[in-house]
Homo-oligomer: A and B are copies of this chain.
Amino acid sequence: MFTEQDNEDLTRVGPGTLMGDLMRRFWMPFLLPEELPGPDCPPIRTRLLGEDLVAFRDTNGRLGLLDRYCPHRRVDLFFGRNEECGLRCVYHGWKFDVDGNCLDMPAEPANSPLRNEVKIKSYPMIEWGGVIWAYMGPKEHMPPKPPELEWGLVPAAHRNIGKRLQENNFAQGVEGGIDSSHVSILHSLLDPEKAGQPFRQRQKAIGGTSYMATDTAPRFFLRPTDYGMRIGARRNASDSEYYWRITQFLLPFYTMVARQNEESPILGHAWTPIDDYNTWTFTMHWNPKHQLVERGKDFDQSNVNVPVFNDGSYRAINNRSNNYGIDREVQRLRSSSGIEGIGLQDSAIQETMGPIVDRSKETLGSSDTAIVAFRRMLLAQARKLRETGALALPHQTELYRVRSAAIVLPRETDFEEGAAKRLLVA
């Protein structure tokens, strides 16, 4: 039984919350480099773990992430002047560097003690792997660098990173990312020639294989790891073989969808909490071996990424206000949802559950085995941290050098053993 209190504990991320404290022990991706394009570019408003912030890049290119509001009279620093290695509040000119030091107070006397006393809240940022990361926790616990997720390690031409706003709690995103069973339904395409036949006979092969259409009830096997867990979803392949889809969950909010085959790109997500009700959904595609090739070959951007407004909001162009552009005729004939694009299909179901789904009202089945395990693991990690002050898992950055995989194995073979080579970054 997942209580309302469990739900609060799982989803609230503000300062002092159980989950917020856990998140604050990790580097988190939240901006794309294009948002802070160069030295002294305009500052931008942002929000992370429920805190109002302003981000900028200083004259020397250093990244700064400060409290949104000037400590003097609480003016919005978005309006500030970004110049001469600092952000200057436009009201009385107090100026701060990327470390939160106050460099100037033009309206105060030269000998004012305030000059040495005042600091603004600031958080370190790093640009790495095609995204900008922040760390919002205690300095003494700061990991030396972001987790070595493979999409950050490969050359830039080998990866594609999309970002979109989702107006729901992060946990609904993670739960979608590790839920191998919904792929057979939500994302399935239909054969229009078979219109009129039963739904399940009209489903086309998914992800280059027919197993997902023929066996829609995978059995889940969970293997805790030092970074989170591996999830094996087992489907029948032949009398002597199983088809395994192996998904990764990496603390605190990364997921990797099972890879189609050893040549195809890998698909992963980061579900970064803006606040309790909003999430930055990052969609990563990468190919360890070669550059991503053109659309429609091994990488169809429009399918998994979501077209967003080009105004800094990263809001989907088709969104809740137009029911995600659902086309009932397409739904009738060609796709399960009538919504275009896998990413937008996920947004549609995750957002319309409500900003925080009431998990105490769910009816969970065996298809939800991984979801149950994720909730339990994340709550256990957060409660352990609260009790002991230390993370329960080692969470070194090199532990994140893993991949997802899909593989057909003899029925007697353990999936982790059988797929061992495929699950590690070379």
Residues of A within 8 A of B (CB): 42, 69, 71-76, 78-79, 81, 83-84, 88, 90-93, 105-110, 112, 114, 118, 181-182, 184-186, 198-200, 216-219, 323, 326, 328, 331-332, 336-339, 345, 348-349, 352-354, 357-358, 361-368
Q: Which of B74, B83, B198, B353 meets A362, CB within 8 Å? A: B74
**In the bound complex, what is the Cα–Cα distance between A74 and B331 (angstroms)?**
21
Q: How far is the CB of A328 from chain B (nearest CB, A)?
A: 5
Q: Which residues of chain B are within 8 angstroms of A338 by Cβ–Cβ distance? A: 79
Q: Do residues B74 and A337 form an inter-chain contact, with CB atoms below 8 A? A: no
Q: Can you list 12 residue pairs at the A/B interface with Cβ under 8 Å?
A: A72-B363, A74-B353, A74-B354, A75-B352, A79-B323, A79-B349, A90-B336, A90-B345, A92-B367, A106-B184, A106-B185, A109-B219
Q: Which residues of chain B are within 8 angstroms of A114 by Cβ–Cβ distance? A: 363, 365
| Contact A73:B106 (CB < 8 A) given known A91-B182, A199-B83 | no
**In the bound complex, what is the Cα–Cα distance between A368 and B362 (angstroms)?**
49
Shortest 3 CB-CB contacts between residues of A and residues of B? A107-B367, A76-B352, A106-B216
Q: How far is the CB of A101 from chain B (nearest CB, A)?
A: 14
**In the bound complex, what is the Cα–Cα distance between A365 and B108 (angstroms)?**
7
Q: Which residues of chain B are within 8 angstroms of A365 by Cβ–Cβ distance? A: 72, 105, 107-108, 112, 114
**In the bound complex, what is the Cα–Cα distance between A106 and B109 (angstroms)?**
71
Q: Do residues B336 and A81 form an inter-chain contact, with CB atoms below 8 A? A: yes
**In the bound complex, what is the Cα–Cα distance between A219 and B111 (angstroms)?**
13
Q: Do residues B93 and A216 form an inter-chain contact, with CB atoms below 8 A? A: yes
Q: How far is the CB of A38 from chain B (nearest CB, A)?
A: 12
Q: Which residues of chain B are within 8 angstroms of A199 by Cβ–Cβ distance? A: 81, 83-84, 88
Q: Which residues of chain B are within 8 angstroms of A79 by Cβ–Cβ distance? A: 323, 326, 337-339, 348-349, 352
Q: Do residues B217 and A109 form an inter-chain contact, with CB atoms below 8 A? A: yes
Q: Do residues A84 and B185 form an inter-chain contact, with CB atoms below 8 A? A: no
Q: Do residues B217 and A366 form an inter-chain contact, with CB atoms below 8 A? A: no
Q: Do residues A217 and B74 form an inter-chain contact, with CB atoms below 8 A? A: no
Q: Which residues of chain B are within 8 angstroms of A357 by Cβ–Cβ distance? A: 73-74
Q: Which residues of chain B are within 8 angstroms of A366 by Cβ–Cβ distance? A: 107-109, 112
| Contact A118:B349 (CB < 8 A) given known A91-B186, A93-B185, A185-B91 | no
Closest to A328 in B: B42
Closest to A200 in B: B106
Q: Which residues of chain B are within 8 angstroms of A353 by Cβ–Cβ distance? A: 69, 73-76
